[in-house]
Amino acid sequence: MGCHVRAAIDQHAAAVRDILAMTAGRAGPIQLAAYARGIQDVAADRGWHPDTGAPDWVTLRLLAACDLALSDRRSRIHSLPTF
């Protein structure tokens, strides 16, 4: 993944985090899944399909939601007690 795509995903992730913080109070996995499903549903209703070319707004937004969910999962795994 190119650095410009990574930067775009990071920007979208910040926007998603802000939107969910204002509307749902947090950006946990359930909220992220619901948000991503909403993006996907609206995009599909408008005729959007994944493309193999340069990532578009919808693709970047979905990747950002996935990236946030993975980050949340990693942080929860690292905060588990060790025995």
Please answer whether residues 33 and 70 qualify as being in contact, where contact means their C-beta atoms are separated by less than 8 angstroms: no
Roughly what angle, to the nearest 10 degrees, separates helices 57-78 and 3-23? 80
Per-residue pLDDT of the chain (83 residues; tens, 9 = 90+): 688 999 999 999 999 999 998 998 888 888 999 999 999 999 999 999 888 788 999 999 999 999 999 886 666 544 444 45
CA distance 53 to 43: 17
pLDDT value at position 78? 43
Q: Where are the domains of the chain?
A: 3-78
**Global pTM exceeds 0.85:** no
Q: Which two tokens stand for residue 35?
A: 């948000």
- Residue among 32, 41, 37, 34 at smallest CA distance from 13: 32
